[in-house]
Amino acid sequence: MLPNSLLQRLASWCPWLLRLTDEPKQPVKVLVSGAAGQIGYAIVAMIARGLMLGPDQPVVLHMLNIPRSAETLNGVRMELIDAALPLLRGVVATSDEAEAFRGVNFAVLIGGWPRKEGMQRKDLIAKNVPIYQSQASALQQHAAPNCKIWRCLANPANTNALVLKEFAPAVPAKNITCLTRLDHNRALGQISEKLGVHVADVRNAIVWGNHSSMQFPDASHATARTQHGEKPVVELIADENWLKEEFVSVVQQRGEAVIKARKQSSSLSAASAACDHMRDWILGNPKGTWVSMGVYSDGSYGVPEGIFYSFPVTCDKGEWSIVQGLEVDDFARSKMELSANELDEERSMVYEFVSSERDQ
């Protein structure tokens, strides 16, 4: 008999092998808000196929969307049923937050007010604060204990996560994260293309800061496996201009480039990154590697406490830890501070908006 760990890895290609493992796991409830949207539509099938929580983890999907999208959401529910996915043990499609959050173990919050032409970041915050205030209340009242919450791409993603934390005080800050894994994956992709190696052979790039154009993609600690062994990327790419200018700019602007090319947002890569984020958080990432994740700052690397900031993290058994002791040069420090300043400004905007609402 093969070890269970090997069987479970093989099971991602051959699901029938799961019958050889121990007793099947009990289903967990996974909420996806904004499930009728492009990213939601892409991610629900990925979750139901085990790409987020593993090929042996049954799930009950709770899908939430606004009332005017009820018919579309029901269509998504119909397609999930028609797909006859073995891991899918139930589907709830609703516009009622209490029903959507009831008993959920994992919450993937994609929905939010989209940025429209002419909107400033302050306008976007004003639109999204009430949405996440309401969801924070539902989360605190109805979700399962120790629910893990992940905020997706609805901007400003980091500050939306902060709103959840502020208005769901009973939820530990460590249980709320936001997505910078898409930016992290984009950084790995750019390095792999530059070196002509497979993306799986590149590791430990970092995205510091905010999910915005002020983020800082950092290749200074990344390594790549070549035919001559694993070496630092800065040695393999002896081009400081590319590392500090072109690489940074391409990753920062990649979302806009995708929209320009396909006339729609990067929903497939975002959904895939979301699965990567949650899978590593819950199941752990490989030893010796780290990933980028927006987490509640504890002051590491001089980043102000009390903001959600992207750091390099390692994950084990549902817990994340910020990688400590990395050298940060003056160039990196200046970029990191710019992103921290932007997040600090956004935090002030949130408090200003909430204060004005209370005064009315």
The whole-number mean pLDDT for each consecutive block of 10 residues of the chain, a chain of 360 residues, reads: 49 50 84 94 96 97 96 98 97 97 96 65 79 91 92 77 92 95 97 97 98 95 94 96 97 92 89 96 94 97 96 96 98 98 93 70
128 falls within a domain: yes
Looking at residue 122, its pLDDT comes to 75
84 falls within a domain: yes
In 3D, which of 194, 191, 187 has the Cα closest to residue 310?
187
Looking at residue 16, its pLDDT comes to 45
Domain limit, last residue, from 119, 152, 178: 178
Report the run of H or E that residue 229 belongs to, with start and end: strand 229-232
In 3D, which of 214, 218, 240, 352 has the Cα closest to residue 292?
218
Examine the domain organization and report whether 232 and 249 are in the same domain: yes
16 falls within a domain: no
Looking at residue 156, its pLDDT comes to 83
Looking at residue 138, its pLDDT comes to 95
Q: What is the CATH number of the domain that holds 310?
A: 3.90.110.10
Looking at residue 1, its pLDDT comes to 43
353 falls within a domain: no
Examine the domain organization and report whether 117 and 259 are in the same domain: no
Looking at residue 359, its pLDDT comes to 56
276 falls within a domain: yes
H-state helical runs in the chain = 4-11, 38-48, 70-82, 97-101, 121-142, 157-167, 181-195, 233-236, 240-241, 247-252, 254-262, 267-283, 330-359
225 falls within a domain: yes
166 falls within a domain: yes
Query: 121-142 and 157-167 are packed helices; what angle lies between their axes, rounded to 10 degrees?
Result: 40
Please answer whether residues 191 and 205 qualify as being in contact, where contact means their C-beta atoms are separated by less than 8 angstroms: yes
Q: Could you give the C-alpha distances from 20 to 12, 58, 133, 329, 340, in angstroms and in order?
A: 14, 16, 45, 51, 49
Catalytically annotated residue among 211, 221, 228, 277: 211
Examine the domain organization and report whether 167 and 189 are in the same domain: no
Active site residue 277: no
- The range of the structural domain enclosing residue 123 comes to 27-178
Examine the domain organization and report whether 209 and 105 are in the same domain: no
- In terms of Cβ atoms closer than 10 Å to its own Cβ (0-12, 13-18, 19+), residue 28 is middle
Looking at residue 125, its pLDDT comes to 80
Examine the domain organization and report whether 338 and 283 are in the same domain: yes
Report d(CA 63, CA 100) in Å as an integer: 7
Examine the domain organization and report whether 66 and 134 are in the same domain: yes
Examine the domain organization and report whether 118 and 214 are in the same domain: no
130 falls within a domain: yes
Q: Could you give the C-alpha distances from 73 to 68, 257, 279, in angstroms and in order?
A: 10, 29, 25
Examine the domain organization and report whether 225 and 321 are in the same domain: yes
Report d(CA 234, CA 329) in Å as an integer: 14
Looking at residue 346, its pLDDT comes to 92
> Which two three-digit tokens encode residue 214?
């002020």
Proportion of the chain in helix, strand, coil states, percent, rounded to 5? 50, 20, 35
Please answer whether residues 309 and 208 qualify as being in contact, where contact means their C-beta atoms are separated by less than 8 angstroms: yes
Domains in the chain, number:
2
| β-bridge partners, 202 | 224
Looking at residue 317, its pLDDT comes to 87
Domain limit, last residue, from 148, 178, 208: 178
Query: How many C-beta neighbours within 10 Å does residue 329 have?
Result: 9
Please answer whether residues 315 and 339 qualify as being in contact, where contact means their C-beta atoms are separated by less than 8 angstroms: no
- In terms of Cβ atoms closer than 10 Å to its own Cβ (0-12, 13-18, 19+), residue 297 is buried
Examine the domain organization and report whether 255 and 193 are in the same domain: yes
Q: What is the CATH number of the domain that holds 41?
A: 3.40.50.720
Domain limit, last residue, from 162, 178, 194: 178
Report d(CA 188, CA 206) in Å as an integer: 9
Examine the domain organization and report whether 163 and 306 are in the same domain: no
Examine the domain organization and report whether 40 and 157 are in the same domain: yes
> Which two three-digit tokens encode residue 128?
């999204």
Looking at residue 111, its pLDDT comes to 76
Examine the domain organization and report whether 232 and 304 are in the same domain: yes
